[in-house]
Amino acid sequence: MTVTVKLFAGLRELAGYAERELEDIARVSDVWPALGLGEEPPGLLYAVNKEYAGPDRELADGDVVALIPPVSGGAFRLTHGPVNLTSVVVEVVDERAGAIATFLGTVRSHSRGRDVIALEYEAYEEMAEDVMAGIATEVHGRFDLCKVAMVHRLGRVEVGETSVAIAVSAPHRRDALAACAEAIEALKARVPLWKKELYSDGEEWIGRGS
């Protein structure tokens, strides 16, 4: 039995490869020891065939196992080009709406006591958009909404540029604002998306909740 293992962000750099095939792996919990990369990092998550999975999940021949480093906060859509807020808002325009709330995440020039020159974003693209859609479904269930849209940029993003945009339309502003706030927090915590902060004197992958 053979499974394919995908690695991202700091794990990819640690291993020196982005993908590897492993044989005779019965469960998710067997994957990390088989890679021989030292102690398992805290907060590591796994996805099997684009769905999050626990350590006891049994594997089958041909499964794809993604190792998800602690998530950093990437409608439904990922883009390698600039994020245009107007186009995101257009996606949620609805005649039932009395309010449209938006959130823009931008690259700041100072973080953790260091001067930032740019960020680099990476995602498990085949899974990220599905997770974002799931978040939208959840906020729809909690609030009275019309539409939700999310766009996250990948690759290098310069200081002052937009990395993520969220738009939420609703009949009333309270629901629109609350849902928009919940959506960005959920995106940062759960979407398999990571950022590297680039400094004039080095670089660092940033973990979940950053």
Q: What is the pLDDT of residues 163-179, one digit of tens each?
A: 999 999 999 999 999 99
Residue 194 banded pLDDT, cuts 50, 70, 90: very high
Prediction pTM value: 0.77
Sign of CA dihedral 50, 55, 57, 62: positive
> Distance between CA 19 and CA 61 in Å, rounded?
16
Beta bridge partners, 206, equal 195
Domain boundaries, the chain: 2-68, 77-206
CB neighbour list of residue 206: distance below 8 Å, 6 or more residues apart: 72, 194, 195, 196, 197
pLDDT at residue 120, as a whole number: 95
pLDDT band at 73 (very low <50, low <70, confident <90, very high): very low
Strands in 99-106's sheet, in edge-to-edge order, are: 77-79, 147-153, 162-170, 99-106
State mean pLDDT over 106-127. 92
**pLDDT one-digit tens code per residue, 101-110:** 999 999 999 9
Give the strand pairing for 2-7 and 64-68: parallel
Residue-wise pLDDT for 15-47, tens only, equals: 999 999 999 999 999 999 999 999 888 778 888
Fold (topology level) of 77-206: Aldehyde Oxidoreductase; domain 3 (3.90.1170)
Contact in structure between 28 and 57 (CB atoms under 8 Å)? yes
Across 34-63, b (16+ Cβ under 10 Å) vs e yields ebeeeeeeeeebbbbeeeebeeebebeeeb
- Candidates 3.10.20.30, 3.40.980.10, 3.40.50.300, 3.40.50.2300; CATH matching 2-68: 3.10.20.30
